[in-house]
Amino acid sequence: MRNIKGLVAWVTGGGSGIGRATAIELANAGATVIVSGRRQEPLVQTVALINTAAGSADFELMDLAEKQQCYRAAERIMERHGQVDILVNNAATNLPTRHWHSMQDGDFEHVINTNINGIYHCTQAVLPTMRKNSDGLVINIASWAAVHNTYLSGAAYSTSKAALRTLTDTLNMEEGHHGIRATAISPAEVATPFAKQRVGGAAAEGALDIALQPEDVGETIAFVAQLPVRACINDLVISPSNNRWYTLARSVGN
């Protein structure tokens, strides 16, 4: 395993859930961590948790759906820290009106713009420095819905996460010879504030009691980050041992 002490990691959506857990795990491994998101208070809380534990962290306010904010955030991080060695594209969105019968004008575009376009722009912003250093890791948080179509996730979210796995493939295809590696991690249900907001979904059915915890995914991301640079995990699916999607499939089969 490689030592990531002193490397700079940028974690989008770092104010809660998987993003916060990832930031803490990377900081525990010695990385300097920058968390970004739309709301300052949760970001400040994440930074305080890391710095109190003798880690090193700061934050950038940024709306992933706003193209120029992605590039400005990357520029400010570069000015302070000189580079980004690890980019964790974790931030994402979904809407209550997520199905074909309920989507309003602009709903689909908003989800795609955040979950794909925003990730593209953040990645594009750090690639020049990664190429220059002949080293870099991009970890994209996809979803179980990217691998197995699920009704609850809705059309736009499922489409965006499936596209994210393809985006990851293209990074490895085109940038691997520059020393840049990309991993798509597709978690099934995780007990996060994001999941708890799902209408008629996991929270309503008690599924979060058996779901993955954010720390499970954060530790997985830290593991990927500490692999030798010669190794690339292209695609990783992680689910609860008692995976309710399998339970649903068994019930349909019966």
- Domains of the chain are 8-253 (3.40.50.720)
Residue numbers annotated as active site: 157
CB 115 within 8 A of CB 57: no
* Out of 76-90, 147-161, 222-236, least confident range: 147-161
CA separation for the pair 129, 243 (Å, rounded):
40
Q: Is the pLDDT of residue 196 over 70?
A: no
Residue 110 has pLDDT above 80, yes or no: yes
What is the pLDDT, as a whole number, of residue 208? 76
Strands, E, within the chain: which ranges? 8-12, 32-37, 56-61, 86-89, 136-141, 180-187, 235-238
- For residue 205, what pLDDT is reported? 59
Query: Residue 235 and residue 233: Cα distance in Å, rounded?
Result: 6
Per-residue pLDDT at 78 exceeds 60: yes
d(CA 103, CA 122): 27
Confidence category of residue 203, pLDDT binned at 50, 70, 90:
low
d(CA 149, CA 151): 7
Q: Which of 216, 134, 122, 219 lies closest to 175, judged by CA?
A: 134
Q: Is the pLDDT of residue 243 over 90?
A: no
State residue 44's pLDDT score.
98
Q: What is the pLDDT of residues 124-180, one digit of tens each?
A: 999 999 999 999 999 999 999 999 988 889 999 999 999 999 999 999 999 999 999
